[in-house]
Amino acid sequence: MTSRERVWSVFKTLKADRPPFNFWMDRDIMNKLDKELGDNFRVSHYDADIIETFAQINYFPTFSGEYIQDEITTWQIKGAIEDYSEVLDAPMPNPNDINIYQNIIDTRAKYPDKALFTMLIPPIGSIGGLKLPQDFMMDLISEPELIHSVIDKIMPTMIKVAENVCDLDIDVLYIADDICMSSGLIYSKKMIREFQFDYIKPIINLAHDKGKKVFYHTDGLVMDILDMFMEYNIDGINPLEPRFNKGEEFIKKCDGKLMLYGGIDNCHIIPEGSVDDVAMHIKNQFETIGKHTGMIFSSHDIPSSVPMENINVMVDTIKSLRY
């Protein structure tokens, strides 16, 4: 069974030979392991089943904020604009520019048997970087009409990009934008609906019309909005961080209507536990979640301090699991 067949078995609620998997780590150790173990080490060395690709588009390329960056993290220290009205007359990029999709095309050609999840940043994430996050969040409250005007400006281009992505040989349209944090929602449910989900609804529909699954990434505690993911016909979520979300509660609330791409505790058990702790965690997550709904193992960023024997046993344990 190829990786792609394995992933689609999960999508079709069939029993694969084993659960599919992927994982993420801090960028410094990923760069190091790419050099030591082989390019794209998660695939070349560990035979991960999923590769995440990207629709690379900047809706406002002439506006640039200020950032500082190391090998792990980028921090924005200054916004690109003072007021959102500055971008209302800016020209939109050409959604048919091949450069937007080259990463996807090249990856599919190199890995024909892997499942491709192609990331698309939705409205709030796409325009939020024009200002510092705290300023943007205040604008959502004080100037909602102006925010809607900017989103309305980019939406035709965003929808066309999503359509072009879904015309390529991908498996999942992977919408990614953090709307939760460790204590719960970043925005109110009303604001999530108004500024995010209502805008991505036509994108979800066109992806489904083209035979693609739609997954959504947000960090944090997501239990209060599981009903919204299902209401908007999103197929699966990532990563359902175990330190904030209980697998049993997820299964009960979703009743098989929402798949999981995640479930691995990247913050405590994988980097800090013993190899026995890691193996037990993976087995428990499979028994709790993987046997009751569609599950693809994955993690948020595992710290660079992690012992490599923990990564090895994590992968070996996943590969040993049987339905």
* Structure token pair of residue 171: 């498996």
* Lowest pLDDT segment from 72-86, 200-214, 279-293: 72-86
Mean pLDDT of all residues in 164-191: 96
- Whether omega for the bond prior to residue 95 falls within 30 degrees of 0, making it cis, is no
Query: Looking at the predicted structure, is the pLDDT value of residue 157 above 90?
Result: yes
Read off the pLDDT of residues 215-255 as tens digits, 9 standing for 90 and up. 999 999 999 999 999 999 999 999 999 999 999 999 999 99
Domain count, the chain: 1
Residues 204 and 229 sit within 8 Å (Cβ to Cβ): no
Q: What is the pLDDT of residue 99?
A: 97
The residue-averaged pLDDT of 13-42 equals 95
190 is in which domain, residue-wise? 3-320
Q: How many CB atoms lie within 10 A of CB 202?
A: 14
Task: Give residue 72's pLDDT.
Answer: 72
Question: Does residue 58 surpass a pLDDT of 80?
Answer: yes
Token duo for residue 137:
């969040």
Each residue of 113-137: pLDDT tens digit? 999 999 999 998 999 889 998 899 9
Q: What is the CATH number of the domain that holds 272?
A: 3.20.20.210
Model pTM?
Answer: 0.95
Report pLDDT for 170: 98
Pairing of strands 24-25, 184-185: unpaired
